[in-house]
Structure 1
Amino acid sequence: MHAVLDRQARIELNSAAGARCSVTTQRTQGGGKVMISMAGKAIRRWWALFALPTFAAFIIGFLVPFIMGVYLSFCEFTTVTDGEWVGLKNYGKALKDKEFLHALGFSTAFTIVTTIVINVIAFAIAYMLTKAIKGSTLFRSVFFMPNLIGGIILGYIWLLLLNGVLAHWGRALTYKASYGFWGLVILVCWQQIGYMMIIYIAGLQALPTDVLEAAAVDGANGRQTMFRIIIPLMMPSITVCSFLTVTNGFKLYDQNLALTNGAPSNMSEGLALNITRTFYGRMGWEGVGQAKAVLFFILVAVIALIQNKLTTSKEVAA
């Protein structure tokens, strides 16, 4: 009889304790909801205050100078406060400048070559390093390291190396424009392949294994798997890497400055170097240099948008 009563007492105590825990849990959850809702209300109320520093920096550091630059491209000026409106005169002089047109062709050819070479080699290296290769982590670090070095330093390093090689034939890197062109191609490819490789490795590691296994079961060979499965599924990574290489190719400046500085006779200078030399090195051509900068912006923006549209359309179709 006493045992039965003790058992019933224990059951009642356990039930009471469970009820208290349940109430405590509900109170805690309720308090958490209250805290979360209060934090959400505070964020919704004060979001403008938190966004203001970044927004102000964007306005002051980018938007205002950009608008002023567009305006000054229609002016003759020596400082930003003494601009005199001349209309499209600066653009006419820019488009008639043979050195500017040559720099445009130089940058276009350079961008095409480096975009193809960098993406093909980076993809091949990434594909190999995603396999079971001993020391693949070390190889990834080694290939990525050149991207950590500044462009000016890389330019001077490769200037010494390439001049050392060409010295055997009595030549120098600045002897001929084609030497400077291929020297820049080697330098930029060596610098950027490792960075693009990392992006491709991330894309390859995210590929759905079930699709690859299904292809293997269906008897697809290596070539079919690569061109009909892997590459279509890798289009997001290809879009990013091709966008970066295209824009970097046109915007190239510091490597060009350090490696050749446009020699010989400004025949190995790209668009960015030509614009800088026009603005700072030719008296009275500040407005023309600014007009060239606006044309440069439009060109890069249009090409980048077209390239992104083309690769994204293939990405969607894949």
Structure 2
Amino acid sequence: MNSHSKLEKVETSALELQKNTKALKSVSLNKNKKLKDAGLFALFVGPVLLAFTLIVLIPFFTGIYYAFTDWNGITGAVKWVGLDNFKYIFTEDKQFLDSFKLTTKYTLVAIILTNAIGFGLALLVTQMLKTRNILRTVFFMPNLIGGLLLGFIWQFIFVKGFASIGELTKIPLFELAWLGDANTAFWGIVIVSVWQGAGYIMIIYIAALQNVPQELIEAAKIDGANRWQILRHITMPLVAPAVTICLFLTTASSFKVFDANLSLTNGGPFKSTEMLALNIYTEAFVNNRYGIGEAKALIFFLVVAAISVIQVTYSKKKEVES
């Protein structure tokens, strides 16, 4: 009995040792796998994260610090002034408030027109047209041209081209001083921005429209639905996620409009078309009041972020309801 018991103990110990060995090997393999995954993650994400930190995060938080100083952006003397910059902006800087109102007006107009035209173009080029691929290319091409270059091209069109057409045809529309009057200059910026952005928005809507099940549309036609009813009750609810994306993109880009504003009017005449981004740029890099410029940029960031979050949240809820 004793020898049999000893043998069982030896076998039990051997089994436990074998199990422990397997467990150690498993832990070692898992550890090596985790190290390998961490190495691959660092290899692929590390450079991007480093670049993002250097180019975006560090300047962002540095800018927040400078928003509470009176630094002129050139000298090394930085004086902490607390909330003085923000008090100045809201109490004495009338131009900032005027630029904010103008930018809000421009954003509302640009969002509506860009999405409406982009969606209309998407509906057009998703029809069975022989030239639909050529039309897609033509409509998208303005988005490939840089904003500054595009602005200077349209500046020539508004100043020289329209004036020449007006002399020949005597049409009042072409005889207007498009960039010399506050009202027409505003609409000039809108025209250029919408012309550039509608093609990009069109591509997103095309992708959404191509995913609409044709069976539903055919069934609706059989049931007697007309084109408007199909668009309203079938197409629009199904492309709602694309609408959310396009509204977000156009909201952010419209609020941040700078290059078209700079190249077309440079804020003129008499700062009547100076948008927020151009106002911030002028304050920081032309007037050399970097602290006030950063304070304006911080306010601008908070406003755009809040509006974007509200817009996306509301649009997502509408998607669920529909």
Instruction: Please indicate the TM-score interval, normalised by the length of the shorter structure.
Output: 0.7 to 0.9
| Residue of 58, 79, 96 corresponding to 1:84 | 79
TM-score by length of 2: 0.82
User: Is contact 1:163-1:171 (8 Å) kept?
Assistant: no
Q: Name which of 239, 255, 269 aligns with 1:234.
A: 239
Q: 1:231 to 1:95 in 2, by over 3 A?
A: same
Q: Secondary structure at the match of 2:179?
A: helix
CA apart distance, 1:174: 3.5
Q: 1:304 aligns with which of 300, 308, 319?
A: 308
**Which runs of structure 2 are paired with 1:65-84 in the superposition (5 Å)?**
65-79=59-73, 81-84=76-79
Where does structure 2 lack aligned partners over 5 or more consecutive residues? 1-29, 167-171
AA of the residue aligned to 1:46? G
Matches within 5 A, 1:155-170: 155-164=151-160, 165-166=162-163, 168=166
Tell me if 1:255 matches 2:257. Answer: no
Deviation at 1:45, TM superposition (A): 3.7
Distance (Å, rounded) in 2 between the aligned partners of 1:129 and 1:117: 18
Tell me, yes or no, if structure 1 residue 100 matches structure 2 residue 102: no
Deviation at 1:166, TM superposition (A): 4.8
> Counterpart amino acid of 1:296?
F
CA root-mean-square deviation: 2.0
> 3-state SS of the aligned residue for 1:174?
coil
Distance in structure 2 (CA, Å) of the matches to 1:201 and 1:243: 17
Q: Deviation string for 1:154-189 (max 9, x for gaps)?
A: 111111111132574765333211121000011011
- How many residues are aligned here? 281
| 1:77 shift after superposition | 1.0
Match of 1:5 in 2: none
Q: Note the C-alpha offset of 1:43.
A: 4.3
2:17 matched residue in structure 1: none
Correspondence for 2:56 among 52, 62, 79:
62
Alignment of 1:5-16 (within 5 A): none
In 2: Cα distance, 1:137 partner to 1:174 partner? 35
Deviation (angstroms), 1:220: 2.0
Report the Cα distance in structure 2 between the residues aligned to 1:258 and 1:228, rounded to whole angstroms.
43
8 Å CA contact 1:104–1:271 kept in 2: the answer is yes
- Please state whether the residue corresponding to 1:172 is helix, strand or coil: coil
**In structure 2, which of residues 208, 215, 218 is the aligned counterpart of residue 213 of structure 1?**
218
Q: Is the 8 A contact 2:73 2:284 kept in 1?
A: no
Unmatched segments (≥5 aa) in structure 1: 1-36
CA distance in 1, matches of 2:146, 2:33: 43
> CA shift at 1:276, angstroms?
0.4
Residue 209 of structure 1: how far off its partner (Å): 2.0
Could you tell me whether the CA contact under 8 Å between 1:166 and 1:173 is conserved in 2?
Answer: no
From 290, 293, 304, the equivalent of 2:294 is 290
Counterpart in the other structure of 2:139: 143
Please give the alpha-carbon distance, in whole angstroms, between the structure 2 residues aligned to 1:174 and 1:128: 32
Structure 1 residue 42 displacement after superposition:
6.2
Is 1:203 paired with 2:208? yes
Residue of structure 1 aligned with 2:39, choices 42, 46, 53: 46
Preserved contact between residue 159 and residue 173 of structure 1 (Cα < 8 Å): no
Q: 1:182 to 1:111 in 2, by over 3 A?
A: same
Aligned to 2:195: 190
Kept in 1: contact 2:155–2:264 (CA 8 A): yes
Kept after mapping to 2: 8 A contact 1:232/1:314: no
Look up the equivalent residue of 1:76 and give its one-letter code: D
- In 1, distance between residues paired with 2:145 and 2:285? 27
Distance (whole Å) between structure 2 residues aligned to residue 171 and residue 183 of structure 1: 11
Q: Is the 8 A contact 1:75 1:84 kept in 2?
A: yes
| Compared CA separation, residues 223 and 48, structure 1 to 2 (3 A) | closer
Q: Choose which of 179, 191, 210 in structure 1 pairs with 2:184.
A: 179
Q: CA deviation at 1:110?
A: 0.7
Q: Percent identity?
A: 40
Once the two structures are superposed, residues 103-134 of structure 1 have per-residue CA deviations (whole angstroms, 9 ceiling, x without a partner) of: 11111111111111111111111112111111
Q: Does structure 2 retain, via aligned residues, the 8 Å contact 1:103–1:269?
A: yes
Note closer, same or farther for the CA distance 1:45–1:108 as it changes in structure 2 (3 Å cut).
closer
